[in-house]
Structure 1
Amino acid sequence: MAAVDCRGRVADRAVMHALGWTPGTRLDIRETRGLLVIRTDTHGVFSVTTRGHLRLPAPVRHCCGLQPGDRVLLAADPQRDLLIVHPPAALDDLLTQPHAGRLDGDSA
Structure 2
Amino acid sequence: MLTALDWLPGTRLKIQPMDDLLVVGKTADGSVQVTADRYFRIPFRQRRRVGLLIGQRVLLAGRRSRDQLLIYPPSTAGRVLAAQPSLLDR
Query: Which band: TM-score by shorter chain?
Result: 0.7 to 0.9
1:44 corresponds, among 5, 8, 30, to 30
The yes-or-no answer on 1:91 pairing with 2:80 is no
Count of aligned pairs between the two proteins: 85
The percentage of counterpart residues that share the same residue type is: 38
Structure 1 stretches of 4+ moved >4 Å: none
> What's the Cα RMSD here?
1.3
Distance in structure 1 (CA, Å) of the matches to 2:14 and 2:52: 18
Q: 1:98 to 1:47 in 2, by over 3 A?
A: same
| Paired AA for residue 2 in structure 2 | M
Per-residue deviation at 1:50? 2.7
Q: Is the 8 A contact 2:32 2:40 kept in 1?
A: no
Which structure exhibits the higher relative contact order, with contacts defined as CA atoms closer than 8 Å and separated by 6 or more residues?
Answer: 1
Per-residue deviation at 1:52? 1.2
| Paired AA for residue 35 in structure 1 | L
Q: TM-score by structure 1 length?
A: 0.72
Q: Which consecutive unaligned segments of at least 5 residues does structure 1 have?
A: 1-14, 100-108
Distance in structure 2 (CA, Å) of the matches to 1:17 and 1:97: 30
Helix, strand or coil at the partner of 1:30: strand
The yes-or-no answer on 1:21 pairing with 2:43 is no
Higher-Rg structure is 1
Q: Which consecutive unaligned segments of at least 5 residues does structure 2 have?
A: 86-90
1:29-108 → structure 2 map (5 Å cutoff): 29-99=15-85
Per-residue deviation at 1:47? 1.2
| Paired AA for residue 69 in structure 1 | G
Distance in structure 1 (CA, Å) of the matches to 2:71 and 2:19: 11
